[in-house]
């Protein structure tokens, strides 16, 4: 729209310049013609009057001369008449011409001196006049002059009329032209292009909708429509081939998992049953900036992992609407199709009050359950009012799920993470035919640690409403089963890893989550090398080696421990001082929670302290950036780093490590990975470290920056092979297969 407006403004500006140029030329010509005409008529009048005045002037009949002057006073366009002797004295003068008009007297004097007619345009008392004087003779001598004064105001009026008429004509022409252009754009260009775009989208998404009415024979778009039809046919054929290949791959255990294979797997396994994904965090957040509504993808490991699955599987995703424009884009049932650019599934938004969000999310979830499940030496805080809000919000989610699945006979409900631990039981009690799974994205602590939770039995009982409970690792499964054995009366089968309570059996299994690889973020239309150069220039990075950490600003991510390791590395290896930059990206997280506010200040202070010590030649070793970044920015950082540090003190999986591997299609770079992440069980070719051991982490940094390219390629190749075999499509296929087989 901006381009259209700019184009219209340019067109109008060009037309305006043309009109003004022609008007200036017309005004100049008209002014010259009117002045010439006035001068000519004045000379004729002066010569005519001269024949009457000259004999009487010689005879000195002053009364007669005055009567002649008076007779010509106040005539149309005739301002006055004056008669002077050769000494410049007034003989007769119209009452409308002050005898003190020096300029007029000068004209008369000049006419007598030159013995020929003399005229000039002047302004007297703010009135434009033309003054003409002719000499009076006696024999051959000049004895006086006759002065005629004409009103020249009509010339200015005529010129103003020309300007006014042309400008009005310009405004009308510009308006009509703008309307015509907009109509042409709307009906002849925009409408057909919109149809073409819709056809391309439907062809890309596999939809059978086709609308080319009136365009096939179009002079402008006919050839393009024909080409699109051919592309659609080719895409349909390719899609059928891919579907057939995907179906064949279902029977091959070792074939790679892709979005298409998952789509075929879901069709074959679920037999038309709809998937209902439930989480607190939504995959797309709509925001309002002025009158414009935009959206962004949140910085969340859960959303990053699950969203490609929903694009492949379709269905409905139920989540909290947190964006300030989220309500503006949903329908009357709080639904919106996503992704916005190419919808593939439905997002159902749940609305929470500020009080509910504070107690449920900031309070019980992030000040209670989060530190309880992470062995990061942060004491959890449990408050009765937070638990009440947690219970209330879980019931709100459960009611929303029940509303969505009420017309489905055997729906598949997959609940995500610790925010919604009570939802499985709430839904199962009202809809026993639903197949319910819950995936716990964070670690499950040992029974002694979990036992301090005041509402431990309620949480466990809520989770056991699910038919399948998934964790990242077998250790977390073991911890959960041992916790249930200590806290609830139930029957536990350690061979099948099942828990039976109140005649309902729940299976407990490990499902190490991953990312969409190799079907991840496309790099085709983005120049990462140029983006990297811009980033380095923006922040003044000139060092040879770059280290990278990308996390939420969270005390479980080992950010301070990582910074201390960088300090030890620089201290032990002074040759890297001024030649190594560590970039720490810390996305703001849970900023309303006091512990997170304090931790953010601690990180800032630590960065400042280390930079003050090791600053060299104006180069600071650590760059801390606390803000959200989009996918392209993160991918740029992954690709430009020599080493990526993932030093979580306790993590369920950690997808940053896998995202770094996926980004390194050059098979360069080194991953340093905490042994306390779930990812360390898979990514054996990373440099595995204890994040609490600063010396060990510093030595790993030294090993990484000194590592030969051949060794980097060997390790990264193996890591990418592992990631390719265990991507998010395989994770979801195994999870859904386990649920379907229950």
How far, CA to CA in Å, does 275 sit from each of 422, 428, 505, 551? 19, 15, 21, 30
Say if residue 212's pLDDT is above 90.
Answer: no
Q: Tell whether 515 is covered by a domain.
A: no
- Amino acid 152: pLDDT: 86
Are residues 453 and 597 located together in one domain of the fold? no
Asked if the structure places residue 520 within a domain, the reply is: no
**Residue 73: per-residue pLDDT:** 64
Q: How far apart are CA 552 and CA 598, in angstroms?
A: 14
* Candidate ranges 14-18, 77-81, 156-160, 483-487; pick with highest mean pLDDT: 483-487
**96 or 733, which is more confident:** 733
**Can you tell me the mean pLDDT for 23-50?**
88
Residue at token pair 């699945």: 405
80 forms beta bridges with 149
Domain total for the chain? 3
CA dihedral (690, 683, 590, 450) positive or negative = negative
> Same domain, yes or no, for 446 and 591?
no
For residues 98 and 647, which has the higher predicted lDDT (pLDDT)?
647
Residue-range definition of the domain harbouring residue 144 = 34-157
Same domain, yes or no, for 402 and 476?
A: yes
- Give bridge partners of residue 547 from the DSSP assignment: 582, 643
Q: Does 650 map to a domain?
A: yes
**469 and 566 belong to one structural domain:** no
Residue with tokens 């310009």: 170
Same-domain status, 343 and 483: yes
pLDDT at residue 698 above 90?
yes
Please report which confidence band the pLDDT of residue 143 belongs to, taking 50, 70 and 90 as the band edges: confident
Q: Is residue 162 part of a domain?
A: no
Task: Say what the pLDDT of residue 89 is.
Answer: 81
Which pLDDT band, with edges at 50, 70 and 90, does 79 fall under?
confident
What pTM was estimated for this model as a whole? Answer: 0.70
Please provide the distance, in angstroms rounded to a whole number, between the alpha carbons at the two ends of the chain.
54
Query: Considering the domain boundaries, does residue 303 fall inside one?
Result: yes
Of 79-83, 427-431, 546-550, 676-680, minimum mean pLDDT range? 79-83
Long-range contacts of 400-406 (CB under 8 A, 24+ apart): 400/318, 400/348, 400/350, 401/276, 401/278, 401/318, 401/427, 402/427, 402/430, 402/431, 404/276, 404/316, 404/318, 404/348, 405/274, 405/276, 405/431, 405/434, 406/431
pLDDT at 246: 52
pLDDT of residue 721: 94
Give the pLDDT confidence score for residue 235 in this predicted structure: 66
Residues 506 and 532 reside in one and the same domain: no
Question: Is residue 184 situated within a structural domain?
Answer: no
Three-state DSSP state, 389:
helix
The predicted pLDDT at position 381 comes to: 95
Q: Which of 514, 448, 362, 306 is nearest to 370 (CA)?
A: 362
| Confidence at residue 242, expressed as pLDDT on a 0 to 100 scale | 56
d(CA 46, CA 63): 20
Neighbouring residues of 684: CB distance < 8 A, sequence distance ≥ 6: 718, 722
- My answer on whether 556 and 476 are in the same domain is no
Instruction: Name the band, by pLDDT with cuts 50, 70 and 90, for residue 247.
Output: low
What pLDDT digit, counting tens, does each position of 675-684 carry? 999 999 999 9
User: CA 51, CA 622: separation in Å to the nearest integer?
Assistant: 103
**In a shared domain, residues 561 and 481:** no
Identify the band that residue 727 occupies on the pLDDT scale cut at 50, 70 and 90: very high
Q: Are 700 and 643 within one domain? A: yes
* Predicted local confidence at residue 100, as pLDDT: 45
- Residue 726 has which token pair? 């265990």
Q: Can you give the pLDDT at residue 9? A: 83
Tell me: pLDDT of 97 over 80.
Answer: no
Give dist(CA 35, CA 398) in Å, integer. 91
Asked whether the CA dihedral 526, 532, 537, 540 is positive or negative, the reply is positive
| Pair 371, 502 in one domain | yes
Pick the more confident residue, 108 or 318. Answer: 318
Query: Tell me, what's the pLDDT at 113?
Result: 85
**Is residue 637 included in any domain, yes or no?**
yes
In the predicted structure, residue 520 carries a pLDDT above the cut 90: no
CATH classification of the domain holding 547:
3.40.50.2000
One domain, residues 638 and 498: no
Helix 559-572 × helix 594-614 angle, to 10°: 10
The answer to whether position 421 is within a domain reads yes
Q: What mean pLDDT is reported for the chain? A: 87
Q: Which residues, in sequence order, are CB contacts of 657 under 8 Å at separation 6+?
A: 644, 646, 671, 673, 677, 679, 683, 686
Between CA 214 and CA 226 the distance in angstroms is 13
CATH number at residue 143: 3.30.450.20
pLDDT digits (tens, 9 = 90+) for 503-519: 999 999 999 999 988 75
How much is the average pLDDT of 426-452?
96
How much of the chain is helix, strand and coil, in % rounded to 5?
Answer: 50, 20, 30
Q: What is the pLDDT of residue 437?
A: 97
- Whether residues 431 and 567 share a domain: the answer is no
Which of 105, 136, 157 is the C-terminal boundary of a domain? 157
Band of the pLDDT at 177, cuts 50, 70, 90? confident
Residue 210's pLDDT band, with cuts at 50, 70 and 90, is low
Instruction: Give the tokens for residue 67.
Output: 């009567």
User: Which one has a higher pLDDT value, 548 or 59?
Assistant: 548
Mark which of 132, 157, 182 sits at the end of a domain: 157
pLDDT at 519: 55
What is the average pLDDT across 72-93? 76
pLDDT over 60 at 614, yes or no = yes
Per-residue pLDDT of 355-364, as tens digits, reads 999 999 999 9
Of 510, 536, 552, the last residue of a domain is: 510
| Least-confidence region, from 111-125, 451-465, 502-516, 650-664 | 111-125
What integer is the mean pLDDT of 519-543? 82
d(CA 545, CA 438) in angstroms, rounded, equals 42
Dist CA 257 CA 732 (whole Å): 10
């Amino acid at each position: 729209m901006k381009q259209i407006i700019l184009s219209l403004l340019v067109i109008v500006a060009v037309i305006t310049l043309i009109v003004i140029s022609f008007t200036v030329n017309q005004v100049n010509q008209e002014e010259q013609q009117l002045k010439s005409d006035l001068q000519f008529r004045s000379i004729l009048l002066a010569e005519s009057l001269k024949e009457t005045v000259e004999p009487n002037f010689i005879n000195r009949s002053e009364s007669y001369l005055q009567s002649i002057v008076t007779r010509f006073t106040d005539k149309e366009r005739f301002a006055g008449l004056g008669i002077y002797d050769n000494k410049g004295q007034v003989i007769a003068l119209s009452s409308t011409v002050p005898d003190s008009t020096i300029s007029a007297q000068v004209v008369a004097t000049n006419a007598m001196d030159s013995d020929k007619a003399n005229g000039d345009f002047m302004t007297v008392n703010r009135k434009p006049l033309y003054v003409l004087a002719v000499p009076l003779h006696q024999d051959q001598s000049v004895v006086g002059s006759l002065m005629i004064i004409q009103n020249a105001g009509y010339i200015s009026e005529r010129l103003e009329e020309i300007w006014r008429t042309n400008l009005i004509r310009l405004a009308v022409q510009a308006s009509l032209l703008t309307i015509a252009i907009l109509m042409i754009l709307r009906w002849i260009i925009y409408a057909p292009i919109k149809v073409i775009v819709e056809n391309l989208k439907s062809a890309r998404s596999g939809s059978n909708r086709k609308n080319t009415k009136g365009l096939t024979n179009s002079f402008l778009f006919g050839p393009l429509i024909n080409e699109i039809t051919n592309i659609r046919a080719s895409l349909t054929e390719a899609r059928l081939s891919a579907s057939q290949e995907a179906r064949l791959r279902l029977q091959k255990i070792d074939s790679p998992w892709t979005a298409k294979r998952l789509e075929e797997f879901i069709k074959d396994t679920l037999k038309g049953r709809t998937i209902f994904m439930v989480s607190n965090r939504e995959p797309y957040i709509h925001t309002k900036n002025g009158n414009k509504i935009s959206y962004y993808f949140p910085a969340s490991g859960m959303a990053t992992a699950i969203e490609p699955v929903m694009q492949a599987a379709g269905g409905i995703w139920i989540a909290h609407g947190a964006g300030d424009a989220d309500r503006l884009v949903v329908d009357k049932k709080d639904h919106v199709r996503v992704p916005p650019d190419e919808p593939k599934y439905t997002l159902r938004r749940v609305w929470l009050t500020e009080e509910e969000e504070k107690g449920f999310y900031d309070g019980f979830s992030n000040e209670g359950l989060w530190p309880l499940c992470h062995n990061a030496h942060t004491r959890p805080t449990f408050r009765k009012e937070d638990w009440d809000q947690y219970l209330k919000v879980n019931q709100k989610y459960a009611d929303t799920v029940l509303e969505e699945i009420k017309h489905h006979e055997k729906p598949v409900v997959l609940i995500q993470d610790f925010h919604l631990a009570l939802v499985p039981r709430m839904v199962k009690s009202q809809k026993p035919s639903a197949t319910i799974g819950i995936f716990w994205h964070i670690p499950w602590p040992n029974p002694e640690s979990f036992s301090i939770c005041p509402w431990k039995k309620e949480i466990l009982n809520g989770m056991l409403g699910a038919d399948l409970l998934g964790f990242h690792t077998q250790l977390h499964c073991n911890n959960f089963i041992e916790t249930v054995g200590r806290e609830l009366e139930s029957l536990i089968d350690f061979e099948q890893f099942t828990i039976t309570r109140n005649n309902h059996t729940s299976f407990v299994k490990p499902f190490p989550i991953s990312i969409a690889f190799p079907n991840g973020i496309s790099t085709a239309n983005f120049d990462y090398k140029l983006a990297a150069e811009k980033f380095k220039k923006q922040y003044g990075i000139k060092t040879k080696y770059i280290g990278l950490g990308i996390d939420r600003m969270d005390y479980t991510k080992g950010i301070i421990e990582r910074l201390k390791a960088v300090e030890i590395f620089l201290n032990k290896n002074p040759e890297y001082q001024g030649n190594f930059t560590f970039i720490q990206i810390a996305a703001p997280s849970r900023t309303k929670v006091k512990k997170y506010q304090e931790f953010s200040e601690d990180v800032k202070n630590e960065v400042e302290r280390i930079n003050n010590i090791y600053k060299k030649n104006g180069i600071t070793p650590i760059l801390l950036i606390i803000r959200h970044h989009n996918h392209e920015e993160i991918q740029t950082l992954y690709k430009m780093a020599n080493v990526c540090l993932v030093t979580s003190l306790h993590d369920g999986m950690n997808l940053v490590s896998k995202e770094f591997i996926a980004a390194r299609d050059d098979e360069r770079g080194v991953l340093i990975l905490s042994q306390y992440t779930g990812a360390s069980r898979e990514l054996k070719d990373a440099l595995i470290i204890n994040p609490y051991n600063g010396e060990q982490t510093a030595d790993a940094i030294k090993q990484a920056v000194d590592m030969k390219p051949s060794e980097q390629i060997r390790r990264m190749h193996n890591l990418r092979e592992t990631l390719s075999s265990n991507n998010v499509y395989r994770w979801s296929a195994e999870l859904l297969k386990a649920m379907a087989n229950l």
